Amino acid sequence: MKRTYDLIIIGSGSIGVPAAMVFAENKYSVLILDSLASPGQGQNKTAIGGIRATHSDRGKISVCQRSIEIFSHWKENYRDDIQWQKNGYSFPAYTAEDERLLQDLMKIQKGFGLTITWLSPEEYRELNPGIAMKGLRGSTYSPEDGSASPLLFTQSCYLKAVEHGATFRFNETVTGFRIAHSKISAVKTNKGVYHSACVLNAAGANARAVSQLAGIDTPVNPDSHEAGITEPVRPFMGPMVVDMRAEPGSKNFYFYQNTEGQVVFCLTPDPPIWGIESRSTSVFLPMIATRMIMVMPPLANLKVRRTWRGLYPMTPDGFPIVGKMREPVNFYQAVGMCGQGFMLGPGIAELVYRMITERYAPGDQETLGSFDPYRDFAGQEVFK
The CB-of-235 to ligand FAD minimum distance in angstroms stands at: 19
Nearest distance from C-beta of residue 215 to ligand FAD, angstroms: 15
Among residues 137 and 266, whose Cβ is nearest to ligand FAD?
266
Would you say 148 or 295 has its CB closer to ligand FAD? 148
Nearer to ligand FAD, 46 or 250 (CB): 46
**Nearest approach, Cβ of 3 to ligand FAD (angstroms)?**
17
Name which of 138 and 157 has its Cβ closer to ligand FAD. 157
Nearer to ligand FAD by Cβ, of 21 and 174: the residue is: 174
- The smaller minimum CB distance to ligand FAD, of residues 100 and 191, is found at 191
Least distance to ligand FAD from the beta carbon of 161, Å?
A: 14
> What HEC string does the chain produce?
CCCEEEEEEECCCCCHHHHHHHHHHCCCCEEEECCCCCCCCCCHHHCCCEECCCCCCHHHHHHHHHHHHHHHCHHHHHCCCCCCECCCEEEEECCHHHHHHHHHHHHHHHHCCCCCEEECHHHHHHHCCCCCCCCCCEEEEECCCEECCHHHHHHHHHHHHHHCCCEEECCCCEEEEEEECCEEEEEEECCCEEEEEEEEECCHHHHHHHHHCCCCCCCCEEEEEEEEEEEECCCCCCCEEEECCCECCEEEEEEEECCCCEEEEEEEECCCCECCCCCCCCCHHHHHHHHHHHHCHHHHHCCEEEEEEEEEEECCCCCCEEEECCCCCCEEEEECCHHHHHHHHHHHHHHHHHHHHCCCCCCHHHHHHHCCCCCCCCCCCCCC
Using the minimum distance from each CB to ligand FAD, give the nearer residue, 42 or 238: 42
Residue 261 Cβ vs ligand FAD, minimum distance, rounded to whole Å: 18
- Minimum gap (Å) between residue 184 Cβ and ligand FAD: 14
Question: For binding to ligand FAD (CB under 6 A), which residues are involved?
Answer: 10-16, 33-36, 41-44, 46-50, 173-174, 202-206, 210, 225, 227, 266, 310-313, 335, 337, 339-343
- CB of 120: closest distance to ligand FAD in angstroms? 27
Q: Minimal CB distance to ligand FAD: which residue? A: 13
